[in-house]
Amino acid sequence: PPLGRMINIQDIEEIAKKILPYKAMAYYASAADDSISCVENARAFSRFFFRPRVMKAVSGVDPSTTMLGYKSSIPVYISGSALARLGHPLGEVNLTRAAYKSGILQMVSSNSSLSYAQIAAARGSSEQPLLFQLYKHKNDDIAARRIREVEELGYKAICLTVDALVPSNRELDTRASHYLEEYENEGKITRGNAADKSGDVSTLGTAGGLIVNNDLDMTWEKTIPWIRSVTKLPIVVKGIQCVADAVLAVEAGCEGIVLSNHGGRQLDYSLPPMEVLYKIRCERPDVFAKTEVYIDGGVRRGTDILKALCLGARMVGLGRAFLYAQSAYGEAGAIHLVRILEREIKFAMTSLGVRTIDQLAPELVERVDWQPL
Ligand code: FNR
């Protein structure tokens, strides 16, 4: 169906799941164990309701904001997700071009299916900010080389993923027995970045071949200062799952944190990030003044995004939705996805009685203790 028929994220996801090769679909859609966290990530948003204010001047509603000082047309970024070329030959480049044309930021995965240089070369201008998602290699020299490489290529931040040290149990992915090598042999992946092949791919599916050689001994005391010693780039820690770690990230001086459970793909029964955000708002609201707080996982609607922003999130990341959009419709699909979200965000802002993002406030939402259907 033509792209214009896609009126929400769900529509795009359904088409993508029809056209994706089974093994690619299994990798993109998969989640840990029984998919509880994956499902609850999305459901958590439905426990938050709005308290809209009326009779507020809202003409010229403006959903633009900034992330680490870089302008973004809407409070949404493309979260770093591996292997975009499984879904479309241009893969990550679709996302880079779409990010430029729609004025949003892209986080580039350590396990991208194109080289970091190829992705940087797809920027619409040298000013287009790209953020780099880092899986820190256990060998410091190798990790330092990678950080310096992306800094030289012009990437603007190091987003250290801390919630995926080892491969998890993703049964959809495993059953699809998707061997990365197969795709490689078919020429669908140039494996510039994907880690070496020592992972036991045969029993762990695609993810098992990617999440290997990670540093299992990272600590706040050691690892953040070590990254600082290698680069001047701001540091964002991706994968914060409780209030205590948000506070420790602030104390370690991180410029940003991502409340995330990896889209429910790592530890099943880790709390939905929206609930973690709510706990930080209730217990340690000082965190929001000391670092930028982002959130990802289960975002489907403009209203989800605004609820998170009301509670103090600065930006919201989407993983699967962008993979699906570019798989089904290439660059145009990812641009269309941003337009859908922009329309939903503007409508909801107008209806909430806010004209600019900085007017979103905790008073505009409340959490209910029942789960809507
Ligand atoms: C991911 N994610 C991820 N995160 C990361 O830090 N490095 C990575 O390489 C990947 N790879 C990856 C592949 C695929 C197929 C998916 C779906 C996700 C996690 C991603 O950045 C983000 O945290 C979640 O996708 C957010 O949840 P939603 O938006 O997919 O619900």
Distance (Å) from CA 352 to ligand 1 centroid: 30
Residues whose CB falls within 8 Å of the CB of residue 278, separated by 6 or more in sequence, listed in order:
48, 311, 367
272 lines ligand 1 (CB under 6 A): no
Residue 327 CA from chain centroid, whole number: 17
State the pLDDT at residue 198: 37
As annotated, the active-site residues are 135, 163, 262
Distance (Å) from CA 203 to ligand 1 centroid: 21
Q: Model's pTM, two decimal places? A: 0.92
Ligand 1 atom having least distance to the Cα of 42: 31
161 lines ligand 1 (CB under 6 A): yes
Neighbours of 10 (CB within 10 A): 12
Which residue's alpha carbon is at the smallest distance from atom 6 of ligand 1?
A: 161
Which residue's alpha carbon is at the smallest distance from atom 24 of ligand 1?
A: 263
Which residue's alpha carbon is at the smallest distance from atom 14 of ligand 1?
A: 81
Q: What is the pLDDT along the chain (373 residues), one digit of tens a residue?
A: 999 999 999 999 999 999 998 888 888 999 999 999 999 999 999 999 999 999 999 999 999 999 999 999 999 999 999 999 989 999 999 999 999 999 999 999 999 999 999 999 999 999 999 999 999 999 999 999 999 999 999 999 999 999 999 888 888 888 876 555 566 566 655 544 444 443 344 445 776 778 889 999 999 999 999 999 999 999 999 999 999 999 999 999 999 999 999 999 999 999 999 999 999 999 999 999 999 999 999 999 999 999 999 999 999 999 999 999 999 999 999 999 999 999 999 999 999 999 999 999 999 999 999 888 7
Instruction: Assign 3-class secondary structure to 247-289.
Output: HHHHHCCCCEEEECCHHHCCCCCCCCHHHHHHHHHHHCCCHHH
Half-sphere CA count of 267, side-chain side, radius 13 A: 14
As given in the structure block, the two tokens for residue 367 are: 């959490």
Instruction: State pLDDT tens for residues 247-301.
Output: 999 999 999 999 999 999 999 999 999 999 999 999 999 999 999 999 999 999 9
Residue found by looking up tokens 């214009």 in the block: 4
